[in-house]
Structure 1
Amino acid sequence: MNPKIVFFDTTLRDGEQSPGVSLDLKQKVEIGKALVELGIDVIEAGFPVTSPGDFEAVKTLAKKVKGATIAALARANKKDIEVAYEALKEAESPRIHTFIATSDIHLTYKLKKNREQVLELAREAVKYACSLCPDVEFSAEDATRSDWEYLTQVVLEAVKAGARTINIPDTVGYTVPQEYYDLIKFLIDKLIEAGYEEDLKAGNLRLSVHCHNDLGLAVANSLSAILAGATQIEGTINGIGERAGNAALEEIIMTLKTRKDFFEKKLGYPLQVDINTRKIVPISQLVSKYTGMIVQPNKAIVGANAFAHESGIHQHGVICERTTYEIIDPAEVGWTGSAIVLGKHSGRHAIGFKLKSRGWQFDDQVLNLVFEKFRTEIKDVLKKIDEEYVEGILLDIFLEKKYRYYLISSQVISVCSGSLKPIAQVEIEDKKEGKKVSVGLGVGPIDAAYKATAEALGYTFKKDTNKKHLKLIEFNISALTGGTSAEGVCGVIIENEKGFRTAGLGRDGDIVIASIKAFLKALNRLEAFEEKGEYLKNQILSLREK
């Protein structure tokens, strides 16, 4: 067989058929150009006869997107084919993709035609399409639920009529890998018997597959088809599409790249996969952004967690040698690198790695202290642990004696309606300057309390030349226990004018008090770091220096 695997992307046609998805013309052109950069061979731009908008989209892509074949879908009738060609005719390399169903269930209930009628329609459609365009693809819709002998008849007639790509779609995601392998192998054998062996070997005739994911097998079925001899794979970016979606092209591409040894050994000839894999993540994110279909975090290759490690055992392995737990280099698909994510399962190695990546140096004794405080104070409290929280533990170990601010009392008055705003009064012990009392108004009780606290200590959340400016980067509250008397925990990250960030945690049965405690903890760490942090950062930290 020809070693070149042709990648046919239908994100702009089948992908856009996902419920709730609608791409405008500018977005389609941008995605089309990104597909060319990725190395996609054929871009199915749309189904022109269905609407003026779809016609215009195909026509525009045909004009503006160069470097790939532009395909348009058409049913097996003259009008569809003529409209498709009209939209495609200015393309650098146009392809008419015509189709008709071949399963008895479709013939009986949808087409209301018999097998001979459908065979004739397929033959005439391909013949007519070939009279307009030299590149014609024929699809036998619902092929995997069709009678194999009848399907063979239709395929052979389409090839005789001039089609040079024959697509065997698993339209409803019905087949399974072994069955699909057997079907593709069966059809290739029939084509060879009919005298098309040389065309198949040279790539002048290709068997293509288009798999849906209703049983979660679209990628597995596509790969099985390659092992059987298919040389064109159809799918979408992120696997989007009708119902459960299509085969995810990025998964197929990286499987062929990563397990090239297996596929070539089984096939007995080398595979050619001409894809710029570093463009995979960027186009995945582009498609997600424009379609509004968020990529699930654990999605293979392009999910946010695909190269993220939280388990301490995995983190240790990846820090020592990436390949212990990663079979793909994240940079190869467009990520910046592996992600060591701090969470309840993280261990000493991850904590040390994160701190050292922020410029800190320390010995094992210090790391043990940091990890123990992380284990007892943070890991079971926060689901998402930012690096600033761990860095805060390190600051506590060496600088806690320099912390200035402690909450003495607070009082908040909330209002239900009217023009009055919530008001908060706070009393804070400042170890350097004595007690500070201030009042603040806010949109809610916590907002009022934060404004009062900032005012008392000479800070502001607004630009003010007379006060030090703070920015609230992150704020979250959660309950540690159940019931109305649950203890609440507040996590806050703040940033000073120089861009340095610190975090603080506060716990209390009153969420306002928990929030103030978190703010003061972060502020204490911030001021202590400003005073002594750079000195510490330039030292090899050890307990002796404490």
Structure 2
Amino acid sequence: MSASKSVNSKDRVVIFDTTLRDGEQCPGATMTLEEKLQVADLLDEMGVDIIEAGFPIASNGDFEAVSMIASRVKNAVVAGLARAGVKDIERAGEAVRKARRPRIHTFLSTSPVHMKYKLQKEPDEVLEMVIASVTRARNLVADVEWSAEDGTRTEHDFLCRCVEAAIKAGATTINIPDTVGYTAPDEYRALFRMVRERVPNADKAVFSVHCHNDLGMAVANSVAGLEGGARQIECTINGIGERAGNAALEEVVMALKVRGDIFPFETGIRSEMLTRASKLVSAVTSFPVQYNKAIVGRNAFAHESGIHQDGMLKHTQTYEIMTPETVGVAKTSLVMGKHSGRNAFRDKLKGLGYELSDNEFEDAFNRFKALADQKKHVYDEDIEALVDEKIATATDRMKVLSLLVVAGTLGPQVATLTLEIDGVHKTVQSQGNGPVDACFNAIKAIVPHEAMLELYQVHAVTEGTDAQAEVSVRLAEAGKAVTAKAAHPDTLVASAKAYLGALNKLMQKRDRLHATAAE
């Protein structure tokens, strides 16, 4: 990057969001079709340039999701991922066919370790596969992206040969991903400069970065790639993704926006929608956002230290480098309680980044009132948990209607549970080794299953003895793991709801597999 470049002449950076593809590959983060459509609509509204909607060859469900997203997205390019094989590319082409701006994103490993152990092919064979796959994709769509999987561990001479061949075959975007999160900013910056200088037709394609966060440098590496000449960043909401995740979209966007004095780049993202997007993705995946997460974490704009509070009262810029409003967080913090009315509650929801329909609002308001009767103060986090749980369970077939638990030192612990399953009420009484075990045994008695409990975690949403308990549960069955969470002032009720939420997700997976087998 030239230090003398005018800040007013900023280069446009394309934002490629892969939350629905790479993000969903995060263990336990599988989304339903309806949830994917919700996320895609919000990404399109937010100004994302390219939405990677899924991996069409992976399953009929993935193909359907990509197809439906392609047919409804109004502005963004819709991409489908494909390996180098004929069936993958044709399936991806069919999935994005109805998009206003379709893209096929095809990839192939190029590093020595991947070629030897994963592909078991020689470099010349891999080069021929690059040419054939890009040519095949270009015959289906005009916009083709090619990725050199494990590009940062690829030998430079071979990487340049592959990039040159891909562009010659018709690739319009070249992605050099840090697939295993191994590189560092200076190294990644130099890699792009090297490739762009050595490849003779490099000016005919847009270069892209795709960084994983295994060493915690995904965002720093992504920005360094821009300095090396890349103009597309591949990222995800909340940084979700395989292993340690991907570069976080919200962090990339705000780094470029806040430090425009040293990064002469701009995006088309409406930053005031970042918090809303973060909350939606967290809700549909049941993956909580860490409190100190940059930009969208609960504490990102919170100040407890007396010194910090004093500085903030005198001037907000003493301890805040951006205003909360720029990322969709309200400045004010209304104390909500049982005397609060609809207008105050609606204003609070808007400030927290939620936009609900009239029916959804009435349901949320009634549940808020019920919670306020149990708690002296209802905090922002209580309201977020209340709304997020509803979003996550909106399509669930099974719901907890009532739960009564008898526990104590005398034992045995007994749970009497009533569930609603597809509109039918079922009640059972079960014993267990403790009240939580009794609750889970009751669910299993009504809904027999072989899922294993891999995670059971409880934490208080806010301070105080009347705080809501937020419970996270992860269940695994047949190699598939799902996570769900629920919040309630009663820890046992939250536990039952979270367990049932995870079971709902497993059953949805099972139903989809059965439907696929029947076809």
Q: TM-score, normalised by structure 2?
A: 0.63
Preserved contact between residue 309 and residue 339 of structure 1 (Cα < 8 Å) = no
- Counterpart check, 1:335 vs 2:343: no
CA contact (8 A) 1:21 1:292 kept: yes
Residue 26 (structure 1) aligns with: 34
2:115 counterpart residue number:
107
Unaligned runs of 5+ in 2: 2-9, 336-375, 380-407, 414-460, 469-519
Aligned to 1:153: 161
2:302 aligned with 1:308 = yes
1:309–1:340 contact (8 Å) kept in structure 2: no
**Residues 307 and 339 of structure 1 are in contact (CA less than 8 Å); yes or no, is this contact kept in structure 2?**
no
After TM superposition, give the deviation of residue 319 of structure 1 in Å: 1.4
Separation (CA, whole Å) in 1 of partners of 2:215 and 2:150: 15
Counterpart contact for 2:167–2:201, Cα < 8 Å: no
1:262 corresponds to 2:262: yes
Q: How does 1:174-193 map to 2 (within 5 A)?
A: 174-191=182-199
Q: Which residue in the other structure is 2:313 paired with?
A: 319
- Residue pair 1:76, 1:98 contacting (<8 A) in 2 also: yes
Note if contact 1:315-1:340 (Cα within 8 Å) is conserved in structure 2: no
**1:242 corresponds to which letter in structure 2?**
E
Contact 2:167 2:202 in 1 (8 A): no
For 1:285, the equivalent position in structure 2 comes to: 279
The residue aligned with 2:233 is 233
Distance in structure 1 (CA, Å) of the matches to 2:64 and 2:263: 40
Where does 1:452-531 land on structure 2 (aligned, <5 Å)? 476-477=464-465
SS at match of 2:167: helix
What's the CA shift for 1:248?
0.3
* Structure 2 counterpart of 1:92, from 97, 100, 124: 100
Alpha-carbon distance in 1 for matches of 2:96, 2:43: 18
Change (3 A) 1:52 1:415: closer
Matched, 1:166 2:174: yes
Which residue of the other structure, out of 292, 315, 337, is the alignment partner of 1:298? 292
Question: Quick one: structure 1 residues 261 and 48, their matched pair in 2 at CA, closer, same or farther if it must change by over 3 Å?
Answer: same
Distance 1:105 1:332, change over 3 A: same
TM-aligned CA distance change 1:149 to 1:475, over 3 Å:
closer
Give yes or no for the alignment of 1:122 onto 2:130.
yes
The equivalent of 2:501 in structure 1 is: none
CA contact (8 A) 2:214 2:245 kept: yes
C-alpha contact 2:78 2:102 (8 A) present in aligned 1: yes
Distance across 1 between alignment mates of 2:272 and 2:72: 23
Please say if 1:13 is aligned against 2:27. no
Quote how far apart the aligned CAs of 1:272 are: 3.0
Within the candidate set 275, 299, 323, 2:269 is matched to 275
Q: Give, as a single letter, the amino acid of the residue that structure 1 aligns with 2:254.
A: M
CA gap 1:415/1:172 in 2 versus in 1, 3 angstroms = closer
User: What secondary structure does 1:73 align onto?
Assistant: strand
Q: Please state how far the C-alpha of 1:30 moved relative to its aligned partner.
A: 0.6
Alpha-carbon deviation of 1:338? 6.9
Q: Given residue 262 of structure 1, which amino acid in structure 2 is its aligned partner?
A: I
Q: Residues 93 and 184 of structure 1: is their aligned pair in 2 closer, same or farther, counting only changes over 3 Å?
A: same
Q: What secondary structure is seen at the aligned counterpart in 1 of 2:177?
A: coil
Deviation at 1:337, TM superposition (A): 1.7
Report the Cα offset of residue 239 of structure 1: 0.2
Relative distance call for 1:339 and 1:220 in structure 2 (3 A) is farther
Secondary structure class of the residue paired with 1:169: strand
Q: CA deviation at 1:44?
A: 0.3
Match of 1:49, SS state, is helix
Deviation at 1:416, TM superposition (A): 4.0
Partner of 1:140: 148
- The C-alpha deviation readout for 1:368-427, integer Å capped at 9, x for no partner, is xxxxxxxxxxxxxxxxx9799xxxxxxxxxxxxxxxxxxxxxxxxx994699xxxxxxxx
SS in 1 for 2:100: coil
Q: Is the 8 A contact 2:164 2:202 kept in 1?
A: no
For the residue of structure 2 that corresponds to 1:262, the secondary structure is: coil
Work out whether residues 102 and 141 of structure 2, in 8 Å CA contact, stay in contact via their aligned partners in 1.
yes
Pair 312,48 (structure 1): closer, same or farther in 2 beyond 3 Å: same
SS of residue paired to 1:7: strand
Cα 1:195/1:152, change in 2 over 3 Å: closer
Cα distance in 1, alignment partners of residues 328 and 190 from structure 2: 35
Give deviations 1:320-356, integer Å, cap 9, x for gaps: 1111100010000000027799xxxxxxxxxxxxxxx
1:275 and 1:492, CA in 2 relative to 1: closer, same or farther beyond 3 A?
Answer: closer
Structure 2 vs 1, CA of residues 416 and 112 (structure 1 numbering), >3 Å: closer, same or farther? same
Q: How far apart are 1:195 and its partner, in Å?
A: 4.5
Indicate how the Cα distance of structure 1 residues 109 and 313 shifts in structure 2: closer, same or farther if over 3 A, else same.
same
- CA distance in 1 between partners of 2:223 and 2:131 (Å): 29
In the aligned structure 1, how far is the partner of 2:202 from the partner of 2:296?
A: 39
Between the aligned partners of 1:74 and 1:135, the Cα distance in structure 2 is 14
Distance 1:46 1:176, change over 3 A: same
For 1:73, the equivalent position in structure 2 comes to 81
Residues 418/86 of structure 1: CA separation in 2 closer, same or farther (3 Å cut): closer
Larger CA deviation: 61-70 vs 142-151: 61-70
Task: Give the length in aligned residue pairs.
Answer: 345
What is the Cα deviation at residue 227 of structure 1?
Answer: 1.1
CA contact (8 A) 1:45 1:58 kept: yes
1:206 has 2:206 as partner = yes
CA shift in 2, pair 1:27/1:313, >3 Å? same
How far apart are residue 4 of structure 1 and its match? Answer: 1.3
CA distance in 1, matches of 2:334, 2:98: 49
User: SS where residue 128 of structure 1 aligns?
Assistant: helix
Relative to structure 1, the CA distance from residue 417 to residue 31 in structure 2 (aligned partners, 3 Å threshold; closer, same or farther) is same
Cα distance per residue 1:204-263 (max 9 Å; x no partner): x21001000000010010011111111000010000000000000110000000001111
Shift of the 95–312 alpha-carbon distance from structure 1 to 2, 3 Å rule, reads same
**How far off its partner does 1:492 sit?**
9.2
Q: Deviations over 1:276-303 (max 9, x none)?
A: 0000000000000000110000000000
Q: 1:469-521 CA deviation, whole Å, 9 max, x = no partner?
A: xxxx99945xxxxxxxxxxxxx799xxxxxxxxxxxxxxxxxxxxxxxxxxxx
Please say if 1:218 is aligned against 2:218: yes
More RCO (CA 8 Å, sep 6+): 2
Sequence identity of aligned pairs in percent?
Answer: 51
The one-letter amino acid paired with 1:24 is: T
Q: Which runs of 5+ in 1 are unaligned?
A: 200-204, 265-270, 342-384, 389-413, 420-472, 478-490, 494-546
Cα distance in 2 between the residues matched to 1:188 and 1:329? 37
Higher Cα Rg, which structure: 1
How far apart in 1 are the matches of 2:331 and 2:266? 26
